Structure 1
Amino acid sequence: MVAGPADATAEGAAHGRRRKLAAILSADAVGFSRQMHEDEAGTHLRLRSSREIIDRLVVEHDGRVVGSAGDSVLADFPSVVEALRCAVDIQQVLRRQNAAFPPEQRLEFRVGINLGDVIVDGADIYGDGVNIAARLQQLCEPGGILVSQTVHNHVRGKLDFAFEPLGRHRFKNIPEPVATFRVCLNGSGAPSPKRPKHPLPHARPVRITAALLLLLALAGAGLWFPGRALLGGRHEERVAPAGPGIIAKPVIAVLPFANQSGDPSQEYLSDGITEDLIAALGRFSSLRVVGRGTTFTYKGKAADPARIERELGARYVVEGSVRRADQRIRISVQLTDTRDGLLLWSERYEENLADVFTVQDAIIQRLVGTLAVRVTRAEQGRALTKPPGDLAAYDYVLRGHEQLARRTRSGNAEAREFFRKAIELDPTYAIAHVGLGRAYFDAALFGWTEWPAKALQSAREFAEKAVLLDDEEAGGHVLLSWSHEFEHRFDLAKAEIDRAVELNPGDPEVRAQRGSIYLASGDIDGAIREFETVLSFDPIHDPVWADLGVAYYLDGRPQDALGILERNLGRRPDRVMAWAVLAAASAELGHTVQAQDAAARVLKLNPFFAADDLAALYAQPDQRQRLVAGLQRAGLP
């Protein structure tokens, strides 16, 4: 017999289950596992003291603790106003308590609050209302409070707190995106300084006079919108000292480029390049860029690296000059380490001017990609020299990427450990989640795990988590794109990678992945364009050399393929695919001995190599047939 509504109600009551509307508070300690590992007894005492404070304040605000596991707390309240008051009191009292401890011993809590319908089962509560509170807590910064739209609507005008809107976020297993607000706790009623940046709408100037008028108008209004069509732009950021819970990323200062044209009317060009470079570097979440308003105070002044480090806290400084003569433009640039004054890199770009803005965008794109690569390598070198006890989450991520680049089973396992340690130090660090997902993806791809399907699932989950934590971090979209490409779902892969390119067009990894998707889906022209762009940023980007060789071969350019693959294999002689395509290109050009030697290397590296397996990586039948024919002509099965 099927139970009717009355029967169902009676059955639920008999088992102690009922529904109610409640304000749910979810709290969790940041870095608890790390502190327990370093000082178990002391951390336990600090946690117990924090829990006593939290439990007492929950009761004082008419709430009840309905769940706790180690360093986490779940409580519900009949009043959403009291739930928020309780959360604010918790953070203020814990902040005073933490002031007595050094930063590495402070237990800071993240708090999320939601108002929703829940199932009450004895002493426990369940439902989407609880899940959303927990997801908000996971997004929150240490020592902060995040609330949902429903909470904000109910308390607005009733409490003397300011709220900062953070946009809508998609949470796992929650069908609709949730509008999120941060409670400002700096005591001023205004939002505290915050790192995330948002696009600024602006129109691209199409004429030089329009650009000058726009610059003058915005300067007069005290405004400036960095970037143009290619770069999109975000709010620039003034660099502040890193506090507890903030990733200590390297700071880079771009000083105003000097106008060496001998014509003051060309000043707009050197200023525009500086502006665009600041905006483009600001798209890299691994960097912190000194804002335009600060660096332009150095315009026309001599500033040595030591002074830049002392006054701006910058680890790297970028300087340059712009010279325009008739229809040619020359840009010189250099990157310097401010701590020792060492010149890390310098380059000169010279172009013919057809459309000044098109040329400027192209140069900026190459320039920013190269700078990001150089700074990352310098930072990896620093991280490798640090003793383990001094490593922060950022350092662990750098070490993890260095191990990933080795492309070995042991390096992959070590990379995973580094990324896990970074996440343990800061669970909201999106880049660390991307790194761990990338490690799982590589483990499945290269056969370094007994459970490849499980590894691929983990890679996707970490990618989704990264996007959830920070939708503007391009790496999460790149990893999702890899997952879709691996499953030959090219439309989804393209959508994710296009989003990543939109976020950061100057990132070599982003452009390399778009080239990979173009190559696999059959857009050979697009693949070549993307791969050549990456090599203009980073000439020793090893994976791209092999992919570009394949693209040249499939485009009917065996001689170009041969040249680039020979250079790639000179550095990385373990690349099976590179040797295979080298064999095919050599055979097509009539270089029989070279083709046979390359085929022998393929079979030595992979005795189970099959031409059809390699060709299956590419979607277009005619390209698969061309590749198989070339491989078989070289003597490969």
Structure 2
Amino acid sequence: MSKLPKQRLTFFFSDIEGSTSLIASLGERYADILEQYRCIVRSALAAYQGREIDTAGDGFFAVFRDTRQAVIAAVRMQRAFATQAWARNVDFRVRMGIHTGDAIVAPTGFIGLEVHRASRICNAANGGQVLLTPTVLESAGEPLPEGADTIYLGEFLLKGFGQPERLFQLIVPGIDNPFLSPQTERPLPTIAVLPFAVRSMDPNDGFLGDGMAEEIIIALGKVPGLQVVARSASFAFRQQSLDPREIGKRLNADVIL
């Protein structure tokens, strides 16, 4: 038997968060929403050189030869969902996972550990969230297209994988980006350090609080057996008046400082 070829590709997975609950609450209306969701995904795949490989229920698996096109497609999809009145009215949210890696090209599709990794990344995402791996960012290059940006979320254990995966959230400009920790396990106890509030009339003193928090993050990062939430993630809550317990939940942190 001849050896099957390998290709380096970008794998895209998506599905609807809480689809079972939506079916239960919407009944026959869900069929129309599912069809509109599929139309938006397929339109973006066709426009940005994505190849649909498999569809099961509300899940999509597609591949891209060009990683930047995959990022553009994800941005356009999330923007499209955010502007649909029907999506807002029923709390409709799509989660996505994108990963770049090697896979065997077989007559039946694409085979390999990296395909499974991409699928697990999608499963870890929250509704409305697009998760990326470092290989996506390396392949896409900087700056990201469509004015998109990323936030580093930390290292997480994906189901079936022994080593933690570094995950980034794609920030889509112009829409509400839910900032939630991935739905998976962290390999180590986790602490998040929030920026300190300096009670002073001088706005320049705010830098003092940031500097103190950054020094603590650096110091804690050197402690064995402890996972520290990235500065970009914890500082995103600077202007939000949330209960620390809620922030800890969103960051999947065991301790908030």
In the superposition, the TM-score normalised over structure 1's length comes to 0.31
Out of 202, 205, 229, the residue aligned to residue 221 of structure 1 is: 205
- What residue number does 1:166 align with? 153
Cα distance change on mapping 1:215 and 1:88 into 2, 3 Å: closer
What is the CA deviation profile of residues 58-86 of structure 1, one whole-angstrom value per residue up to 9, with x for unaligned ones?
Answer: 12222211111101110011111111111
CA-CA distance at 1:151 after TM superposition: 0.5
Indicate yes or no: 2:43 matched with 1:73. no
- What residue number does 1:199 align with? 193
How far apart are the structure 1 equivalents of 2:152 and 2:138?
Answer: 12
In the superposition, the TM-score normalised over structure 2's length comes to 0.72
What is the CA deviation profile of residues 37-56 of structure 1, one whole-angstrom value per residue up to 9, with x for unaligned ones?
Answer: 12221111110121122122
| Partner AA of 2:100 in structure 1 | L
Cα distance change on mapping 1:195 and 1:32 into 2, 3 Å: closer
- What residue number does 1:52 align with? 39
Counterpart mapping for 1:240-255 below 5 A: none
Out of 115, 118, 124, the residue aligned to residue 130 of structure 1 is: 115
Indicate yes or no: 2:149 matched with 1:155. no
What is the CA deviation profile of residues 374-404 of structure 1, one whole-angstrom value per residue up to 9, with x for unaligned ones?
Answer: xxxxxxxxxxxxxxxxxxxxxxxxxxxxxxx
1:18·1:119 contact (CA, 8 Å) conserved in 2? yes
Identity in percent: 20
How far apart are the structure 1 equivalents of 2:81 and 2:203?
Answer: 44
Aligned residues: 223
2:49·2:64 contact (CA, 8 Å) conserved in 1? yes
Runs of 5+ unmatched residues, structure 2: 182-190, 217-227
| Partner AA of 1:198 in structure 2 | A
Cα distance change on mapping 1:18 and 1:107 into 2, 3 Å: farther
Counterpart mapping for 1:300-319 below 5 A: none
Out of 107, 115, 129, the residue aligned to residue 100 of structure 2 is: 115
2:155·2:164 contact (CA, 8 Å) conserved in 1? yes
Cα distance change on mapping 1:101 and 1:143 into 2, 3 Å: closer
Indicate yes or no: 2:82 matched with 1:95. yes
Structure in which a larger fraction of residues adopt helix = 1
Which structure is larger by alpha-carbon Rg, 1 or 2?
1
Find the residue that maps to 1:174 and give its secondary structure: coil
Indicate yes or no: 2:183 matched with 1:183. no
How far apart are the structure 2 equivalents of 1:18 and 1:157?
Answer: 30
How far apart are the structure 2 equivalents of 1:122 and 1:96?
Answer: 38
| Partner AA of 1:154 in structure 2 | S
Find the residue that maps to 1:64 and give its secondary structure: strand
Cα distance change on mapping 1:117 and 1:45 into 2, 3 Å: same
What is the CA deviation profile of residues 330-359 of structure 1, one whole-angstrom value per residue up to 9, with x for unaligned ones?
Answer: xxxxxxxxxxxxxxxxxxxxxxxxxxxxxx
How far apart are the structure 2 equivalents of 1:193 and 1:31?
Answer: 16
1:239·1:288 contact (CA, 8 Å) conserved in 2? no
How far apart are the structure 1 equivalents of 2:12 and 2:131?
Answer: 10
Structure in which a larger fraction of residues adopt strand = 2
How far apart are the structure 1 equivalents of 2:169 and 2:140?
Answer: 13
2:11·2:118 contact (CA, 8 Å) conserved in 1? yes
Cα distance change on mapping 1:123 and 1:86 into 2, 3 Å: farther
CA-CA distance at 1:168 after TM superposition: 2.2
Counterpart mapping for 1:370-519 below 5 A: 471-472=252-253, 474=254, 503=255
| Partner AA of 1:26 in structure 2 | F
CA-CA distance at 1:136 after TM superposition: 2.0
How far apart are the structure 1 equivalents of 2:46 and 2:195?
Answer: 48
CA-CA distance at 1:170 after TM superposition: 2.3
How far apart are the structure 2 equivalents of 1:53 and 1:33?
Answer: 20
Runs of 5+ unmatched residues, structure 1: 1-7, 203-213, 241-250, 253-281, 290-429, 431-468, 475-502, 506-637
Cα distance change on mapping 1:57 and 1:20 into 2, 3 Å: same
How far apart are the structure 2 equivalents of 1:79 and 1:166?
Answer: 24
How far apart are the structure 2 equivalents of 1:288 and 1:470?
Answer: 6
How far apart are the structure 1 equivalents of 2:247 and 2:165?
Answer: 28
| Partner AA of 2:56 in structure 1 | A
Counterpart mapping for 1:237-316 below 5 A: 237-239=238-240, 282=244, 284=245, 287=246
Which structure exhibits the higher relative contact order, with contacts defined as CA atoms closer than 8 Å and separated by 6 or more residues? 2
Find the residue that maps to 1:107 and give its secondary structure: coil
Find the residue that maps to 1:221 and give its secondary structure: helix
| Partner AA of 2:118 in structure 1 | A
CA-CA distance at 1:27 after TM superposition: 0.3
CA-CA distance at 1:91 after TM superposition: 1.2
Cα distance change on mapping 1:195 and 1:119 into 2, 3 Å: closer
What is the CA deviation profile of residues 59-118 of structure 1, one whole-angstrom value per residue up to 9, with x for unaligned ones?
Answer: 222221111110111001111111111111111122222x24553x24321111000011
How far apart are the structure 1 equivalents of 2:204 and 2:141?
Answer: 36
Find the residue that maps to 1:173 and give its secondary structure: coil
- What residue number does 2:125 align with? 140
Runs ≥4 residues deviating over 6 A:
none
1:144·1:185 contact (CA, 8 Å) conserved in 2? no
Cα distance change on mapping 1:90 and 1:195 into 2, 3 Å: closer
How far apart are the structure 1 equivalents of 2:251 and 2:194?
Answer: 18
